């Protein structure tokens, strides 16, 4: 069997529905260590106050034993069995944040030959499409000289041919994309990963800033000004570090009594929906290529560092599950290594033909036209490509896509 055909059974319609990885994690300090989940902005429309995303189940009084006690025959049970009485579940890293951590690996020297290296220059900054939060559907990419090329590619997707998009932004086929501001073309996420903690105890933390000297005694400001500023973090004297400032009751992380689990899936059933029109040989080449990229992303362990106070590693005392899940529910062990995925992905990329790398400028004229058209409720007209380069876009955050 050649490397190129090695995983063709995953492309057969009677093949597995998905590959699934479930990894028990823990803070580097140990299972009882404190970890800091993602924080999210408040949403008045649905009552979310902001902060940690912790779903609470007040009716489940019986929390049950910890994670270690919920292992059956040396294997992790399905989530529904593993945490039958979890009192709450905290989102540690969302599916969008995990994608944003994994996708940029294709910029690294070891992997860059697998995908075209597309970048957009904006001001004094150069942004890879692999770093753009919405990938090929991102405003930064859309408002560049790639606009017409991408629009054609997205329209081809709607007509059943994903080859053009795979030549420009193949990771958009791996991690999903929605051209919501233009053609409305949408492709599902093939590789999805999420980290959650179970049965968490929420902590708070406090701090106190003390200036090194009494600036009021030095006549920098009056005692009255000092009295008004102390304790008011928004006061200019407090903001500039001239007075005592307490910080109390802020987010202090969580302790996960029920354990931390990273769950990841590679949706093979969704991969088999990709087509190159009615051209069967090209369809097979396309699917092999995207499967190769997906396997590389899927078998690559994301960095253990998620954010300050959240450095996670595998829990060596608990089993890791890596299985093929079949339509009838059978779960069969899978042993694909990252090195095997790389070998296959390289062969599949060579057979499909990786698209050309290029760097293009962000176009202010296109962006202004895009904004104007949105305000008027119209589709933007095609830009002239002659506008001035705009200032760099703000950095991408960890909030979900």
* φ, ψ dihedrals at 209, nearest 5°: -95, 130
Residue 220 forms part of a structural domain:
yes
* φ, ψ dihedrals at 163, nearest 5°: -65, -45
pLDDT of residue 377: 60
Residues 266, 322 within the same domain:
yes
Place of tokens 């307490």: 246
Q: How far is CA 229 from the centre of its chain?
A: 41
Residues 243, 263 within the same domain:
no
Residues 170, 35 within the same domain:
yes
Look at residues 167, 133, 205, 190 and name the one whose alpha carbon lies nearest to residue 285.
167
Range with the poorest average pLDDT among 62-71, 101-110, 132-141, 195-204: 62-71
pLDDT of residue 42: 87
CA atoms within a 13 Å half-sphere pointing along the CA-CB vector of 76:
26
Percentage of the chain with pLDDT > 70?
86
Residue 287 forms part of a structural domain:
yes
**Mean pLDDT to the nearest integer, 157-183:** 93
What are 243-291's pLDDT values in tens digits? 998 888 788 999 999 999 999 999 999 999 999 999 999 999 999 999 9
**DSSP assignments along 330-367, one per residue:** -EEE----HHHHHHHHHHHHHHH-PPPPEEEEB-HHHH
pLDDT of residue 251: 86
pLDDT-based confidence at residue 207 (cuts at 50, 70, 90): confident
**Mean pLDDT to the nearest integer, 209-228:** 93
* φ, ψ dihedrals at 57, nearest 5°: -120, 85
Q: What is the DSSP letter of 168?
A: H
Residues 140, 220 within the same domain:
no
Residue pair 320/24 in contact by the 8 Å Cβ criterion: yes
Residues 295, 329 within the same domain:
yes
Is the pLDDT confidence value at 14 over 90? yes
Residue pair 370/181 in contact by the 8 Å Cβ criterion: yes
Global pTM value: 0.82
3-state secondary structure of 200: strand
Residue 379 forms part of a structural domain:
no
Place of tokens 């090929």: 136
Residue 65 forms part of a structural domain:
yes
pLDDT-based confidence at residue 301 (cuts at 50, 70, 90): confident
Domain of residue 233, residue span? 203-253
Average pLDDT, the chain: 86
Q: How far is CA 27 from the centre of its chain?
A: 20
Is the pLDDT confidence value at 242 over 70? yes
Residues 246, 285 within the same domain:
no
Residue pair 253/203 in contact by the 8 Å Cβ criterion: yes
pLDDT of residue 63: 47
Number of domains in the chain: 2
**Mean pLDDT to the nearest integer, 315-335:** 94
Residues 176, 219 within the same domain:
no
pLDDT-based confidence at residue 387 (cuts at 50, 70, 90): very low
Is the pLDDT confidence value at 398 over 50? no
Look at residues 259, 260, 231 and name the one whose alpha carbon lies nearest to residue 247.
231
Look at residues 182, 147, 143 and name the one whose alpha carbon lies nearest to residue 365.
143
Helix (H) / strand (E) element for 400: namely: none
pLDDT of residue 76: 54
Residue 35 forms part of a structural domain:
yes
Residues 233, 209 within the same domain:
yes
3-state secondary structure of 255: strand
Residue 50 forms part of a structural domain:
yes
Is the pLDDT confidence value at 110 over 60? yes
d(CA 17, CA 338): 20
Look at residues 95, 94, 115, 93 and name the one whose alpha carbon lies nearest to residue 104.
115
3-state secondary structure of 283: helix
Helix pair angle (280-299, 338-352), 10° resolution: 150
Residues 113, 213 within the same domain:
no
**Mean pLDDT to the nearest integer, 201-225:** 92
Helix (H) / strand (E) element for 171: namely: helix 171-175
Residues 173, 223 within the same domain:
no
Residues 93, 219 within the same domain:
no
Range with the poorest average pLDDT among 67-76, 77-86, 94-103: 77-86
Residues 236, 356 within the same domain:
no
Residue 360 forms part of a structural domain:
yes
d(CA 174, CA 298): 10
Burial label, 69 (beta-carbon count in 10 A; 0-12, 13-18, 19+): exposed
pLDDT of residue 137: 82
Residue 398 forms part of a structural domain:
no
What are 21-71's pLDDT values in tens digits? 999 999 999 999 999 999 998 888 888 888 999 998 876 554 455 555 555
Strands 358-361 and 118-122, by their bridges, are parallel
């Amino acid at each position: 069997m050649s490397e190129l055909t090695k995983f063709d059974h995953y492309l057969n319609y009677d093949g597995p529905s998905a590959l699934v990885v479930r990894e028990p994690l823990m803070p580097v300090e140990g299972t009882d260590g404190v970890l800091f989940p993602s924080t999210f902005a408040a949403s008045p429309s649905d009552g979310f106050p902001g902060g940690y995303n912790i779903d609470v189940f007040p009716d489940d009084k019986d929390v049950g034993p910890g994670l270690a006690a919920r292992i059956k025959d040396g294997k992790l049970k399905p989530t529904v069995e593993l945490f039958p009485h979890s009192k709450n579940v905290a989102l540690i890293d969302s599916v969008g944040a995990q994608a944003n951590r994994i996708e940029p690996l294709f910029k690294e020297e070891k992997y860059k030959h697998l995908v075209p290296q597309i970048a957009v220059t904006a001001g004094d900054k150069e942004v890879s499409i692999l770093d753009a939060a919405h990938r090929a559907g991102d405003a930064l990419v859309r408002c560049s000289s790639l606009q017409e090329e991408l629009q054609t590619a997205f329209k081809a997707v709607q007509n059943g041919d994903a080859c053009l998009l795979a030549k420009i932004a193949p990771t958009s086929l791996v991690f999903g994309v929605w051209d919501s501001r233009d053609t409305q073309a949408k492709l599902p996420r093939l590789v999805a990963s999420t980290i959650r903690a179970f049965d968490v105890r929420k902590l708070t933390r406090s701090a106190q800033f003390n200036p090194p000297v009494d600036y009021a005694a030095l006549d920098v400001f009056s005692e009255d000004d000092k009295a008004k500023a102390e304790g008011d973090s928004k006061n200019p004297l407090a903001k500039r570090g001239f007075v005592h400032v307490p910080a109390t009751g802020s987010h202090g992380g969580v302790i996960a009594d029920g354990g931390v689990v990273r769950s990841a899936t590679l949706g093979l059933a969704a991969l088999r929906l990709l087509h190159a029109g009615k051209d069967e040989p090209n369809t097979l080449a396309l699917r092999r290529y995207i499967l190769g990229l997906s396997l590389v992303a899927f078998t690559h362990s994301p960095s253990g560092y998620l954010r300050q106070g959240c450095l996670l590693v595998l829990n060596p005392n608990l089993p890791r599950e890596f299985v093929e899940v079949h339509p009838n529910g059978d779960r069969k062990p899978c042993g694909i290594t990252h090195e095997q995925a790389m070998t296959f992905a390289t062969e599949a990329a060579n057979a499909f033909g990786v698209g050309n790398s290029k760097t293009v400028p962000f176009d202010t004229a296109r962006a202004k036209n895009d904004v104007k058209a949105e305000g008027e409720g119209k589709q933007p007209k095609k830009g002239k490509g002659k506008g001035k380069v705009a200032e760099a876009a703000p950095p991408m955050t960890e909030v979900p896509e």
